Chains A and B, each alone.
Chain A
Amino acid sequence: EAGVTQFPSHSVIEKGQTVTLRCDPISGHDNLYWYRRVMGKEIKFLLHFVKESKQDESGMPNNRFLAERTGGTYSTLKVQPAELEDSGVYFCASSQGFRADTEAFFGQGTRLTVV
C-alpha cells in the first residue's frame, strides 16, 4: 500500500513567486493534515481537512496560504506570494480516525526555500 506522497520533494523559488505543494494521502483516509517546520523550530500544525471540508485552519499563518482538497482526495497548499519566512519543510499527514485511536501517517515533506 502506498504511503502519503508529497510533491515536489524540494522547491527553490524567488520571493514574490507562487508555489503549489501537493499531497496524496493514503487511499481511504478521510483526515488530511498540513504541518510546517521552520528551521530550528517546532513542527507546527497548519490545517486539517475531513474529506473535502476544512475542519480546522487555525494554524494557517496568513492569507498568502491557500489549501484545497478537491473531491476529498489529494490536497494542494499554495503560497502566493512567497516570502522569505515561508522557507521550511512542509509535511502532510493522513489518518482514518481520531488521533488517540489511530495513527497519522506522514509524508517525507517538501523542503521549500524562498530566496
Chain B
Amino acid sequence: GDSVTQMEGPVTLSEEAFLTINCTYTATGYPSLFWYVQYPGEGLQLLLKATKADDKGSNKGFEATYRKETTSFHLEKGSVQVSDSAVYFCALSPYRDDKIIFGKGTRLHILP
C-alpha cells in the first residue's frame, strides 16, 4: 500500500544553519504531497503542499519539490530559526482519495 518514509530524528541544528529533511514515498497514480508541522502544544498545521510532479511548495522560507522520478519530497530551508523547532511530518494523499498517509515525523531542535 501507499506509504511515506522520512528521516529519523531528532535533528539538532544551530540557528541560521541549512535544513534538509528527507522524505520519500510509495504510491500508485498521482498522489498529492504535503509537509505538516506541529509546534509544541499545538495541533498539526499544513506547512506546504504540491499536487503534481515538479511542483514546488513553499511557505515561511521552507520549500519542497515534488520529484516523481525519485519519488521524493524533501523539505529544505536556507536559514533556520529557533522558532522553527517543531515536529515535521511528510504526508501524501492518494489519488482521488481524501485520507492522508503520514510519515513518522522528524523532531527538529534549533539551538540559539
A and B: interacting chains: yes
Where the two chains meet, the residues of A that have a C-beta atom closer than 8 Å to any C-beta of B are 3-4, 31, 33, 35, 40-45, 48, 55-56, 59, 91, 93, 98-100, 103-104, 106-109
Q: Which of B16-24, B64-72, B99-107 contacts A (4 or more CB under 8 A)?
A: B99-107
User: What's the least CB distance linking B61 to chain A, in Å?
Assistant: 19
Residues of chain A within 8 A (CB-CB) of B46 are: 103-104
Residue pairs across A and B with Cβ atoms less than 8 A apart, 27 shown, are A33-B99, A35-B100, A35-B102, A42-B104, A42-B105, A43-B44, A43-B100, A43-B102, A43-B105, A44-B102, A45-B99, A45-B100, A45-B101, A48-B99, A59-B99, A91-B43, A93-B44, A98-B98, A99-B32, A99-B98, A100-B93, A103-B46, A106-B36, A106-B44, A107-B43, A108-B42, A108-B43
Tell me whether A106 and B45 are in contact in the complex, defined as CB-CB below 8 angstroms, given that A99-B93, A100-B51 are known contacts: yes
Cβ–Cβ contact A104 & B32, under 8 A: no
Residues of chain A within 8 A (CB-CB) of B89 are: 43
Count B interface residues, CB 8 Å. 21
Across chains A and B, which 6 residue pairs bring their CB atoms closest together, nearest first?
Answer: A106-B44, A99-B93, A43-B102, A108-B43, A45-B99, A106-B43
User: What's the least CB distance linking B97 to chain A, in Å?
Assistant: 7
